[in-house]
Amino acid sequence: GYPNVGKSSLINSLKRSRACGVGATPGVTRCLQAVQLDRHIRLLDCPGVVLDSGDPPAAAPLRGALAPQRLRDPLTPACAILRRCPSQQVCGD
């Protein structure tokens, strides 16, 4: 699945314990991990996967592929977000 959509959190919720590490930034889950839910069910937690869609590099942060702190130019993705929002939502009018 995509990065930071809650894969690890869902597994922790189903397991009712902290079986997988979670965090607010992409890259917390670094390798595949099997978690035994019960005798018959094993869940796999894996790092997020973002396939190359041919979009410009500025779109990668919008898909959660890069942590905001690692961006060299945070204005380009911010402008891309603002272009997608209706001006009434942004201005609060």
Supply the pTM of this predicted model: 0.63
The 10s digit of each residue's pLDDT in 5-41 is 899 999 999 999 999 999 887 788 889 999 999 999 9
Q: Does the structure show a pLDDT above 70 at 44?
A: yes
Q: Which residue has the higher pLDDT, 90 or 15?
A: 15
The mean of the pLDDT values for the chain is: 83
Domain assignments of the chain as residue spans, ordered by start: 7-45, 58-91
* Mean predicted confidence (pLDDT) in 69-93: 81
Q: Which residue has the higher pLDDT, 4 or 58?
A: 4
**Around 91, how many Cα atoms within 13 Å sit in the side-chain half-sphere?**
5
